[in-house]
Structure formats: structure tokens, C-alpha cells
Structure 1
């Protein structure tokens, strides 16, 4: 099994760093993330870029200004995709992007005087808890004015089992001319929870960054650790990893289909696709003992062989998929259902390309990017993932069609991986990985899109771990898909994005 695609790191002076990041994005590289690591009074900025089959990190060190603050020239005017990343970095690290167009709190609505958590600095203060006092409620921003316009707060708590997030919908009653997103209610301090943990325990946090994508996050984390240790897992482990990653993808895509049916008020298909999702989760549980595939992936391979043989697994999956296909065909000729999806929540392909939209959201707008095309684990010996795209201009219907196609691709990959496991004589499922200090990148393709991990090991423990989710990256685009839609289209658009809000707030 060959090693995954390359990654590299470049250290630059602040001015040169800004020029290089903006220049590389302008010439075709995809902006993939930005974060800060605090080092005593200084801060090291990391910009993640993807291009030419490689993931790179451009770094620079910020030292305090004369007044003791940490600041730099904002990337957002030249790189709009950095808009949320710079807001998040300001919340968590206190770094000021000078010239940022809107530096409202995003992940952490700190009260005046509260210190920032400063990820990467183990001795940093924690946010103090105010006792016997009431925190001031901050009113959301107002961007649309005029007669009859009002702000409708949706969330953070809604009916049903929905993750907490607040949408501030500015509307005259039906149209949605503007939408603000406040995800900080679900902030869990994930970046700080990684710090000082032994490397083997870091995977427990990674699996819980986005619970519905536990396997993908575990893979991205372990890929970074394995890169530092210069170790490639055994072939058998790589194929088992593929099986679990693709079953996770199928379950998530079925969840989106189920939620779309619920938005349309179609009780029978809602129940049917809920049953199919449950069947896949139960199959995962029979394979490893956990419905979300947790504790399967370990550094250097996997913890155990699947409890079902490849033949039995393929047989049970085939039965589930046969039922899925029958219900899919019935659903996709339902005129009332398709009318609610067609043309709704359209993401302009040019905007998707400039932002670097990930996963099904990007592929529905014509972008073929898929982290599995920078092969890792068993994907190196399986049929190349084409990067499914559809014609349709990036609307809700196009995003659903991408998911149907990806389910079929996942089934093919699982069957191919099982065929190879049947003939593989080497029983090894894990390799010892030495813990090595240093910095490395790891990635995997989650159901929501590419997951990127930037990991720094210091003195044998985790010093800093930045988990970049596709949900966080794509959520910014949610502002821009309501151009001709009304309030009743909201649940369709939200479901079609398929994002995990825990992966947005972190």
C-alpha cells in the first residue's frame, strides 16, 4: 500500500506570508484553512492550501506590537474564503486581522475582560466562570432595513433532535434577503481538549469532533501521526478502514434523504429512509460493536478484525442497498417532491469554485475535488474515485443526486475492499508507530467533505491539534443560497447541505 499524497511546510515573514497565500489562491490553489498557535507572547499563523495533489502549510510568526497586541493584515479582502477563519482565530487566539470587514464573535461570544483560550499555549488562562451575575445578551446584527422588515431568530433550540445553532433571518415575511449564523452556542473547546493528551488518546477527541463522521476524523488524525512516525499501516488495516469510512458515508447520505422527505411532509419515504439508515448503523455495530464506528481506527492500523466475514458483510449490504434503490426510484419520480427541490437553494458554481466548496455541496456545483483522489489507506489499491458531479447548477436536487451517486460508489468500494480481503494472506492489522515530535498534516474525505488535521507533537504529547471540518468550511456558503427562496424553503436547503453543527462550533 503506497503512501498518501505529499504535504509540505514553509516558514515565511509576515508580509511575504500574506503575499504568498493570496498569490497562490489567485493562481488556482484552494484555500483550506487558517488558524493560530500561541507561543508565549507570540502567535504562529498557519494557512492551509490544497493544489496539485498536495496539501501545504504556509506559516509565519507574529510578535507583539508596541501595545502588546498581535495583529496582521487581513487575508479576507483578497481571499474571501478566509472570512470565518479569521473571525474564529480572533475569538480563540486574540489575533487581530486588521482590515477584516466584519469581526463579530463567531465561535466564542466572550464578555469584555474575558481572556481568549489561546490554543497551543498549555499555560493559558481558561475562561473564567461568572457566578452570581448574569451575562449580557448580545443582540444580533441587522443588515436589512426597510418597511416591514424584521429579524426572525430560528434557534438555538428547535423542535425535534436538531443540533443547537441560531439563524437570524432578516425578512419582510416570506423572502430571505439576508441570513446571519451564530453557532457559538455549541462551542465545546475542542482545540484545548486535545492539548497535553498522549497521542493514543487524541483519537478519542477526534472521533467526537463530529460524531456522525467519527471514522473520517479518526483517519485524518492518525494519518498525521503516521506521517510523523514515517509508518504506513498494513494493507489489511487500510482496506478495513475503507469499509468503515464508506459505511459511514452511506449512513450520512441516507440521513440527508430522510430529512428532505421530512421537510416535504412525505411520511412514508421519511420512515423508509430512516429504516435504511438504521439498517446501515446496525450493520456497522455488528462489524465493530459501535454504531458510529468508534474505536475501530487506531494509530498504525485498526484495533480488530471485523466480526463479520467479507462475504457475509457484502451479502447483508447488498440486501440493504436493494431496498434503498427501490425506494429511491419511487421517490425520484414524485413530482411534488422534485418541485420543492428543483431550483431551490442554488449555489452559484463560480462562488463555489472561488470558495473551494467541499463534499456534496461542491460537487453539486460542478467541483470534482475529493480527498480520496489523493489516495490514502486502502484507496490506493481500489478503483479511483471519480469525484461525482452532476448538471443542475448546485441546487438542492443536485446535492441529493450527488449523494445517490456516492452511495453507489461507496457500495462498489466496499465490495472491492472485501474481495481483496478474501485473498489477502497477511494477517497484520496494525503496525507500531513511534511517537515523534514535529508537525504534520493528515486528511480524509468525510461524508460532508474533506477533513484536514494539522497536528503538532511536543515532548511526546499533543501540543496543538487543529481539526478543520468540511462543515465549518461550507457553512459560510449557507449565507449565499437564498437569493430567490422563501422561508418555507429553509428546511430543504438546510437538510441538503448535510452539515454537522458540532463541527462548525467546536
Structure 2
């Protein structure tokens, strides 16, 4: 993207620009016009091949059933066990980092919200935090509490959706239906609180655009019902032998591999990595509240499911604390101009650490580097599937909750 070539890199193949992209054209350099459509050239990507008697390849994608985005998975198998997997993404790379340089600061937060649609709040908060550091702003206490509430609502519906997906992929339709119903309950609560099912349009540089809707008692009652029904669902899932047989010991991501890949979020915590930005580098109002960071060592699909389930309950507790202690006062600090400077914003999104590094100049964004957690975690699937059977790939994939959009930005 910049034309930089790492010395001694073990895999010199292209990552983002495909082989038909002309040499010498670097889209993130300042002299590249975003409206330019470079001519295509001939080129071929060489996949790793596993040789041996009885070994054959199963190519999957990049076009998939349904509405998910494109990605190529090339399996090498001996019978049913997977002995190698190579993934290829960036079919829909959107040039988001370049787009940040070509829009006004006021509109940039809306772009951040749309990088990974189901992590809209996390991306918006991380962007705003970086900009607020550059401007030397300390947002009002009420705004910090509201951001915390929004972030945890986002975590709840994402985790429940992931559990629903796992139940779907093991053909446990009863559990999937109940989980999807609970997800819908949370989305409807989101709409009552913010006017948006995906919690969009709330965050802005300097705080939040508007106050939360509905009374505290109404929100707390809705959360208590959701938590009660969710606990019943998890009890039912954990007592269903057909489901447990599919997820226990399946898709193990061992601690040393997870650490070596710098895996983040619930996937990392399910593999024994005790790291959570809410605790380790507190932001919003997290330093004021008590919560437990859920960690497991098993590293399998079951562990990732339990980590998410326990995090749902912790998130409910965080929202309750934020509502009980919600201070009165302003929700936003007025920002007239962003000074020249640079800063880092970090947030623990539902999938893990989201990071923005931003440099400003002349009240514009000169450079914005975004790292979505899925960029760190996608490679883990190549290791988690090894020695598992091909029919278990969808379950493993869903348990990792990887975003195509967050990666292909």
C-alpha cells in the first residue's frame, strides 16, 4: 500500500493488492488520486500446496451463499481431517484509510461507524477518543457513562448473535431460534435507547450527540428480562449432548499459538490471554465500575462460547452500574477546531482491541491508521481448524466471529 518491503519476511506474496495490480502504484501514498482506476496487469497468486498420497484440495469461495462478503478458503485434506488451510481476503478492500483523508472531520465519525457495521459504537468511540486526545478534551462525565452503556449494549447483541450462529451451525434450531429472539430483544432495546438498532449516530468528538431515551427503570427492567432468558438459554445449551459433542475439544487454539499471532478479544481470552482494554487501559467510565475479565484456557469452541456468555452477564452488570450512577450535566463539549497533532485511540470492541492512530494538520485528517480486531484474528483460523474434520469448519469459523468488512477496509 505504501511500497514498503519488509526485509527477511518469510512470505513475500501480496496481501492486499492482488496480482493484477500494477507495480509502482501505491494507493496510500499522498500522490495517489483516490478517483484513479489503475490499469490491470496479468498476474497469478501461488497458493501453498501440500503434497502426498491421498491429499487433495477443497477450494471454498470467494463467493459464498447468503449475503456474507467474499473470502477464499483453500483446504488441504487427507480424508476428512484438515491438514492445511490457506485463506485469502481483501476482495472488497474499500480504501477506508484513504477515505479519511478526503472527508471533513465532522463526517469522519460516520465513516468510522461503517467500517464494521456490528461494531459501529466501538469504532466511533475509538476514533473520537483519538481526536479528543489531539484536541486536549475531557468529555463530560455523563457522556462517559453513556458511551459505556452503548459499548456494552453492542457487546451483548454481538455475543448473543455469535452464540445463535454456533447453534445454527450444529443444526440445533431450537437454541438458535431462542438466541436470535434474544438478539432481537436487545436490538429493540437499542432502538428505544438511541433511535438506532445498531446504536449509530450517537457518538461525536467531544461526547455524545443526544441523551439516552427511555427511563432508567424501563432499561433496567428490559435488561433483567434479557439476562434471565439468556441464562435459561445457556442452561439449555449446556445440557444438550448433541451440541456439546460438536463444540467440546473442537477448533482448539492453543495458548502459545494465540500469543504468537497476537490474537485479541474473547478469542484470545478463551485461549488463556488475560487482556482486556477496559481494565488494562480504561476509557469512558470503566475505571469507575467493577467487572470481571472472563478467561478460559481450553481454547476450543466451547470455551469461546462460555467466555462470550459470561461476558454478556458482565455487560449487563456494567450497564446497571452506569445507569445507577449516571451523573447529571452536559453530554458534549463544543469543538471548534482540531489542532495539529497525533494520538492513539484504543477500545475493547466485542471482537477485541480496536485501534485508531490519527494525525491531523490544518483541521483535517492527514493520516488515519485503523486496526480492527479481525485483522489480528483471521489468521488464527488456519491453526484452529488443523486436525479437525471439514464439517466442523463452519462451527470453528463462527466461534471466532471474524469480520470480513473489518478486515477488508
Q: TM-score range by the shorter chain?
A: over 0.9
Q: 1:121 matched to which residue of 2?
A: 30
- Aligned partners of 2:68, 2:2: CA distance in 1, in Å? 29
Report the alpha carbon displacement of residue 120 of structure 1 after superposing the two structures with TM. Answer: 5.2
Kindly provide the CA deviation profile for residues 289-347 of structure 1, in whole angstroms up to 9, marking residues without a partner as x. Answer: 11111111110100001111222111112112211111111111111111111111111
| 1:436-475 → structure 2 map (5 Å cutoff) | 436-475=339-378
Distance 1:259 1:140, change over 3 A: farther
Structure 1 residues not aligned, in runs of 5+: 1-91
Report the alpha carbon displacement of residue 380 of structure 1 after superposing the two structures with TM. Answer: 2.3
> Relative contact order (C-alpha < 8 Å, sep 6+): which is higher?
2
Q: Is the 8 A contact 1:120 1:195 kept in 2?
A: no
Q: Is the 8 A contact 1:122 1:196 kept in 2?
A: no
CA RMSD between the two structures = 1.7
Equivalences, count: 407
Report the alpha carbon displacement of residue 228 of structure 1 after superposing the two structures with TM. Answer: 0.5
- Aligned partners of 1:504, 1:140: CA distance in 2, in Å? 21
Q: 1:191 matched to which residue of 2?
A: 97
Q: Which has the higher strand share?
A: 1
Kindly provide the CA deviation profile for residues 16-36 of structure 1, in whole angstroms up to 9, marking residues without a partner as x. Answer: xxxxxxxxxxxxxxxxxxxxx
- Aligned partners of 1:215, 1:269: CA distance in 2, in Å? 28
Matched, 1:380 2:282: no
Report the alpha carbon displacement of residue 197 of structure 1 after superposing the two structures with TM. Answer: 2.1
- Aligned partners of 1:416, 1:187: CA distance in 2, in Å? 40
TM-score by length of structure 2 reads 0.95
Report the alpha carbon displacement of residue 408 of structure 1 after superposing the two structures with TM. Answer: 0.6
Matched, 1:432 2:339: no
Return the match for 2:392 from 484, 489, 492.
Answer: 489
Q: Is the 8 A contact 2:92 2:408 kept in 1?
A: yes
- Aligned partners of 2:104, 2:221: CA distance in 1, in Å? 40
Matched, 1:396 2:295: no
- Aligned partners of 1:105, 1:213: CA distance in 2, in Å? 28
Q: 1:102 matched to which residue of 2?
A: 11
Q: 1:152 matched to which residue of 2?
A: 58
- Aligned partners of 2:198, 2:207: CA distance in 1, in Å? 18
SS of aligned partner of 1:327: helix
Runs of 4+ in 1 over 6 A off after TM superposition: none
Q: Is the 8 A contact 2:22 2:38 kept in 1?
A: no
TM-score by length of structure 1 reads 0.77
Report the alpha carbon displacement of residue 391 of structure 1 after superposing the two structures with TM. Answer: 3.8
Matched, 1:504 2:407: yes
Q: 2:325 matched to which residue of 1?
A: 420
- Aligned partners of 1:301, 1:120: CA distance in 2, in Å? 32
Report the alpha carbon displacement of residue 504 of structure 1 after superposing the two structures with TM. Answer: 1.2
Q: Is the 8 A contact 1:233 1:430 kept in 2?
A: yes
Kindly provide the CA deviation profile for residues 360-381 of structure 1, in whole angstroms up to 9, marking residues without a partner as x. Answer: 1110011110110111111122
Report the alpha carbon displacement of residue 265 of structure 1 after superposing the two structures with TM. Answer: 0.5
Report the alpha carbon displacement of residue 189 of structure 1 after superposing the two structures with TM. Answer: 1.1
Q: 1:234 matched to which residue of 2?
A: 140
Q: 1:209 matched to which residue of 2?
A: 115
